[in-house]
Amino acid sequence: MSSEKSFAAGSPAPGPVPKDQVRLYSMRFCPFAQRTSLVLHAKGIKFETINIHLKQKPDWFLEKNPEGLVPLIETPAGEVVNESVITSEFLDEMYPEKKLLPATPFGKAQQKMMLEHFSKITPHLFKISSAKRKGDDVSGLEAELKEKFTNLNEHLVKKKTKFFGGDTVTFIDYMMWPFFERLGMFEVQHCLDHTPELKKWTERMLEDPAVKAIMHSTEDHKTFYNNFLDGKPDFDYGL
């Protein structure tokens, strides 16, 4: 069973995970859960999705994951794995047919170092959004973001590749993409104007089948995010 509508407190627990697939516990607008979903789609893994109402979490979900966060992967053996990067790496190892991480230890380390660097960029997006809502000046924050985007752009220039791991989409691209999909939501897409190679990367990512399969429009992201910030998230928005 796959569920688009979210399971809230009082919802019946889903049955066991079918033997031939895995189950993703998710939330339709969560960028972190999107990472795991991208990996599942890119690797062609058979899976079902259970969306969770993150303000009214079912008890059975909290039993699986007391922190109550998504994404969460559950296997037919009852193995439960959480956190976006960990679930994504777990799936890449569990289903080795189409590897997204490099084969060499150094190649893997390079992608993980880049992801660590990128993890310092994402808080900037939320800071800018919060400051704008308060009517604060964001020019300093945007200048910092542009500098970080410049560093990413230089990485592509030096590597002379279409994507961050080479000339095909790999693990690092999928880990970064959900936040670039939301640049319009954060109203910072102009911060890409001085980074031509990074801009080309976003255009190439938009053509990726996994990205196309699950992406939301900027308008939908904005509506959900604004409702979320107002304390009234509609986890089933658009259904």
Position 85 pLDDT exceeds 60: yes
Task: Say how many residues make up the chain.
Answer: 239
pLDDT tens digits along 99-157: 999 999 999 999 999 999 999 999 999 999 999 999 999 999 999 999 999 999 999 99
Task: Please tell me the CATH code under which domain 22-99+222-230 is placed.
Answer: 3.40.30.10
**pLDDT score for 2:** 59
**pLDDT score for 3:** 64
pLDDT tens digits along 36-56: 999 999 999 999 999 999 999
DSSP letters for 222-238 = HHHHHHHHTT---TTTT
Question: What CATH class is the domain 105-207?
Answer: mainly alpha
- Using only C-alpha atoms, the chain has a radius of gyration, in whole angstroms, of 18
Average pLDDT, the chain: 96
Phi (first) and psi of residue 74, to 5 degrees:
-125, 135
**Residues marked as catalytic:** 30
Over residues 68-75, mean pLDDT: 98
Domain locations along the chain: 22-99+222-230, 105-207
50 forms beta bridges with 3, 25
**pLDDT score for 219:** 97
Find the angle CA(138)-CA(142)-CA(145) to the nearest 5 degrees: 145
Give 13-17's long-range contacts (Cβ < 8 A, gap of 24+): 13/58, 13/60, 14/50, 16/76, 17/48, 17/74, 17/75, 17/76, 17/78
